[in-house]
Structure 1
Amino acid sequence: MKDMLQIANLYGGYLPGKSIIKDVTFSVKKGEMVGLIGLNGAGKSTTIKHILGLMLPQQGSVLINGQSLEENTEAYRKSYAFVPETPELYAELTVWEHLELTAMAYNIPRDEFEQRAAHFMQEFRMENKKNSLSTQLSKGMKQKVMIMNALLIQPSLYIIDEPFLGLDPLAMRSLLETMDRLRQDGASFLISSHILATIESYCDRFVILHAGQVAAQGTLEELRQQASSSGGANLANKPMSLDDLFYYYITREENRG
């Protein structure tokens, strides 16, 4: 299966010679959903900033669809959509105008835009907010607008940072079902989230970061096998959940350190 996102031996940080992330290597394949998890300060945001091209690698490489940012900046940036943890909207634009602006930026034909936008407005129950300014929206509604803008452009790769914060249960379900449908159509997802019980059921693989390094990665079953072979035990004779595995790998790394 083709790698949509490939990160190899990545070192990076905010100051020359001082790496926050060290030797980070993982991939996201076409049609795959990967969960990027770790404690606060583990390096998740720094890793994402390198993928977005907001930070340049000190060592290593980041490729989207086989291309680096330096090789083809325009194609690289058009290959992904990013939904940040904190919604960032224009105060003077309505919900619909935000979607129109995105459609113009990505040269989406008008008829396609209207069809997609109407679908997502209905899916996320935002039809009655179509003409509302962003200043009139709750945080959860602002997050919905960010998500709809990302979904509108139909990129190869979605990078979503804490997508469920502020969303009501119905919006969470709509987002998860939409992502699952898009994944079946070949889209790829990298999701950073602390809500492990939710992403456990949807992600194909997981990457656990600790202190800027990959502590473990693999499918849920692979993580269980790795934990078992290195001394981790099932709790109450039941398969370890993602929450159990996360606790195991993080405490193991802390004990090593």
Structure 2
Amino acid sequence: MNDHLILVGGKSAAGKSASLMNLRDPEGVMYLNCESGKKLPFASKFMKGPDGKSGFTITDPAQVEEAFEVAETMPHVHTIVVDSLTYLLDMYESVYVLTATDGRKAWQDYQQFFKRLMQKWVAESSKNVIFTAHTVDQMNESEMVIETKVPCKGALKNNGIESYFSCVIAAKKMSLKALEDYQNDLLVITPEEEALGYKYVFQTKLTKDTVNERIRGPMGLWSTKETFIDNDIQKVIDHLHDYYG
């Protein structure tokens, strides 16, 4: 089991990719770009791919499994980032499901791909593993509430993507007024944010206004004051390392 596994969910432009900017020793970060090679919102110095550029552009989902296997042979690699899981699963559908002659088997393979990725490659990895994912608001008809979750298709919908993670945090854009009751050492308001009146943050715990989101974490990982922290994934990794020892 990987104790340093994080799922960062959030709507578009909520700061998911930007949260990677402060990762220490960036040359040891294997960044797997599943979003058609879309540029990061900062100048990264992540481990270079075959083209000599920062990061690896994924064009076939099988490359992600290969990356996890190769990373275990590279001691200098300390973190693997899959950005994003949503686009990775969409890619699998485009490459393998929509082109299949046996659609039933193809959807079974879709499910098994994700399970194999999580239960073998991620679970056995010695690296920090970070997945980003896009979230959507959907009606839960059995409970008649709007849920915020990572969308997926096929049988994976039954358990939900989030069930494979013990640490799920949400990237959000919040007004400074809404953050007034959550001052803590991991939440630093800069002069620029003071001027703008808002801040990009991670939400680490549920609140009464967000009970239908799928944010989760091990008991005692975050204090109530730490419900909102800087959207800095390095701070989350450090916090997990301190928690697990």
Same fold (TM over 0.5): no
TM range (shorter): 0.3 to 0.5
Larger radius of gyration: 1
Question: Going by fraction, where is helix more abundant, 1 or 2?
Answer: 1
Give the TM-score taking structure 2 as reference length.
Answer: 0.33
